[in-house]
């Protein structure tokens, strides 16, 4: 990955839906096109929500969607395309948000808690009826 051009940039409403769908389908509870359209509309309508894309040679390979509150940043959506995992891209995405200099909060499940724990997040668990499984509230303080 040494000669690959890396870029973080905000994803606007005019971005290629198919590329977003390709990354999102593996990181959201309901990966239907209708649900992903609704999620993207929420980002479009709420000025405090921003979706950043991580691009390798202009191909979208990761997404981090956040809500920027006054005292913290809430991570709403986060993931790397399955073909690009295990290359530290998730860490680079999180580092990008960490540079914003605020407390980071998020909710996750068993599949990702080890990643966040290694990154320095503190967490508490709770049961989420919607997902029918244990979830974790995580906080990272600068």
**Domain carrying residue 56:** 6-140
pLDDT value at residue 107: 92
1 lies in some domain: no
Evaluate whether residue 119 is within a structural domain: yes
76 located within any domain: yes
pLDDT per residue as tens digits for the range 51-106: 999 999 999 999 999 999 888 999 999 999 989 988 999 999 999 999 887 899 99
pLDDT (tens digit per residue) in 117-134: 999 999 988 878 787 888
Q: What's the CATH code of the domain at 44? A: 3.40.630.30
The answer to whether residue 60 sits within a structural domain is yes
Q: 8 vs 29, which has greater pLDDT?
A: 8
- Phi and psi for 127 in degrees, rounded to 5? -95, 130
Distance separating alpha carbons of residues 136 and 14, to the nearest angstrom: 33
The answer to whether position 101 is within a domain reads: yes
Q: Positive or negative, the Cα torsion across 101, 103, 107, 113?
A: positive
Confidence bin at 2 (pLDDT 50/70/90): low
Q: Is the dihedral of CA 84, 87, 89, 90 positive or negative?
A: positive
In this prediction the pTM is 0.89
Residue 81 covered by a domain = yes
> Domain for residue 57, yes or no?
yes
Q: Which residues 6+ apart lie within 8 Å of 88 measured at CB?
A: none
- Residue 47 has what pLDDT? 92
What's the domain count of the chain?
A: 1
């Amino acid at each position: 990955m040494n000669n690959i051009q890396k870029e973080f940039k905000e994803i606007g409403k005019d971005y290629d839906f198919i590329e977003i769908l390709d990354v999102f389908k593996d990181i959201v509870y309901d990966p239907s096109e209708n649900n992903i359209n609704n999620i993207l509309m929420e980002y479009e309508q709420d000025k405090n929500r921003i979706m950043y894309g991580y691009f390798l040679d202009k191909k979208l390979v990761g997404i981090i969607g956040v809500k920027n509150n006054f005292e913290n940043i809430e991570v709403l959506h986060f993931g790397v395309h399955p073909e690009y995992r295990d290359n530290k891209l998730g860490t680079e995405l999180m580092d990008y948000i960490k540079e914003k200099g605020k407390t980071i909060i998020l909710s996750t499940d068993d599949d990702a808690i080890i990643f966040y724990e290694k990154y320095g997040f503190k967490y508490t668990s709770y049961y989420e009826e919607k997902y029918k499984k244990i979830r974790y509230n995580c906080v990272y303080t600068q």
